[in-house]
Amino acid sequence: MGIKSRLAILNFLEFFSWGSWLLSAGAYMVETLGFTGLQVGAVYATLGMASTFMPPILGMVADKLVNAEKVFGICHLLLSGLFWLLAEASGFTNFYLVMLLVSVCYMPTLALNNSISYFNLEKHGLDPIRSFPPIRVWGTIGFILAAWSVDVLGYKVSAYQFYLGAAASLLLGLYSITLPKVPIDKGEYKSWVQRFGLDAFQLLKERNMAIFFVFSMLLGVALQVTNIWGVPFLNDFELGYKDSFAVEHSVFLVSLSQLSEILFILAIPFFLKRYGIKKVVMISMFAWILRFGLFALGNPEGIGLVMLILSMLVYGMAFDFYFVSGSLYINKETDPKMRSSAQGLFMMMVNGIGATLGAYTSGFVVDYFSDTGSKNWSFIWSVFAVYAMIIGIAFAVLFKYRHKKEEFNEID
């Protein structure tokens, strides 16, 4: 089996494990466990808290001590057991603590996945910018199939969604053992900073890179908002649109967001070559404004349903044009000896600090615009749309980058 196929399987299982619960866990916590908005936000914030310190730590381990594919596999074997425990938890405290452990094990694997994929592609003489997006598409397919399975099987407000994640992580943990070894850096280190892989933080001394990481954090806030509240938002239409497709199959509808990723992931090489990272990111930020704005105006019938579907379709552009393109940009701008650490730092900003802020602030906003259990979703989504507009304008002004098209001449 070729390396592209092997990496495609890796990405498929990685995101199938995530897609089995990420979109639907919020609805499960609200409708089955009876958690408040702030409690749901706190649970999702564990993803961010873990991403703040675990990706850099395990990135350092993968760079300096243990092969990346082994670290990756161990994390998923642990996850298979933790998902089982999560399915059995009911009270807020127990659920929160187990989800924190799930986050500690899962979130660093996103950065390790990038490092494993980029190394193996370069080892086989392939350009990651051109070759990785079609491979990463299989991760999106895995996420979609997991979400659809949860929807079709009726698991969106059931603990069975976590058993599905457990099975995927067990399979992935075993599969990881068969992957080619990613070598560790056994060179001599001049300081303890280099020894522990903390030299990746030196990237923050470069103005453009520092700005890029800061806005990675700010967009991580936007990403967490839709992960948490997309399905609960659609489920709340049950009062007036109980029999509508959008309510009965809310997870399916939200998963169209991931379906749109397939198109936009494949478009990344063309857009990076033609427009460069700054314009690609600006397109992403404009798409986030549309995403939230269309949510604010949409409903499950007529033109409102069209708006909801359009919101799902622009998600691929919003997500991929920053988070996938950003990962490729950092890989291109970083010394090979610290790429795992740099990817870990990127994930720390996006899924760490950004996701934590997004979880808590979105929970606060949802509760603030709620009255005796009824949520004013139009105001809620409008707040998020204004937020996306502000950071889009700020990025355009602050990030100075001159695109050199010749750097991408190797891309078809």
pLDDT in tens, 64-83: 777 888 889 999 999 999 99
Lowest-confidence pick of 183-192, 251-260, 270-279: 183-192
**pLDDT of residue 369 exceeding 80:** yes
Lowest-confidence pick of 382-386, 390-394, 402-406: 402-406
Work out the burial of residue 183: count CB atoms within 10 Å of its CB; fewer than 13 is exposed, 13-18 middle, 19 or more buried.
Answer: exposed
- The total number of residues written for the chain in this structure: 412
Average pLDDT over residues 16-43: 88
* DSSP label of 24: T
Query: CA torsion, points 325, 328, 333, 338, in degrees to nearest 10?
Result: 130
Average pLDDT over residues 235-254: 76
* Cα–Cα distance, 30 to 33 (Å, whole number): 6
Q: What is the pLDDT of residues 102-141, one digit of tens each?
A: 999 998 888 888 888 888 888 888 888 788 888 988 998 9
Q: Going by CATH, does the domain composed of 3-181+196-405 fall within 3.30.300.30? A: no
Structure tokens at 123: 């080892």
Structure tokens at 262: 């397939």
Q: What angle do CA 32, 220, 396 make, to 5 degrees?
A: 145
Domain boundaries, the chain: 3-181+196-405
Model pLDDT, residue 196: 46
Model pLDDT, residue 233: 84
Model pLDDT, residue 359: 83
Q: Give the pLDDT band of residue 383 (cuts 50, 70, 90).
A: very high
Q: Give the pLDDT band of residue 187 (cuts 50, 70, 90).
A: low
* Cα–Cα distance, 351 to 105 (Å, whole number): 13
The closest of 126, 44, 15 to 410, measured between CA atoms, is: 126
Model pLDDT, residue 411: 46
Structure tokens at 112: 């390790």
Average pLDDT over residues 320-340: 78
Q: What is the pLDDT of residues 396-411, one digit of tens each?
A: 999 887 756 555 554 4
Contacts of 60 (CB under 8 A, 6+ apart): 196, 197, 198, 340, 341, 344
On whether the CB atoms of residues 374 and 53 are closer than 8 A, the answer is no
* Cα–Cα distance, 365 to 121 (Å, whole number): 43
Model pLDDT, residue 131: 85
More confident residue, 190 or 2: 2
Model pLDDT, residue 74: 92
Structure tokens at 410: 């190797």
| DSSP secondary structure of 357-376 | HHHHHHHHHHHHTEETTEE-
* Cα–Cα distance, 279 to 31 (Å, whole number): 41
Model pLDDT, residue 179: 85
Long-range CB contacts for residues 393-396, cutoff 8 Å, separation at least 24: 394/215, 395/211, 395/215, 395/281, 395/282, 395/285, 396/282
Average pLDDT over residues 341-356: 79
Q: What is the pLDDT of residues 202-243, one digit of tens each?
A: 777 788 888 888 898 898 888 878 878 887 888 788 666 777
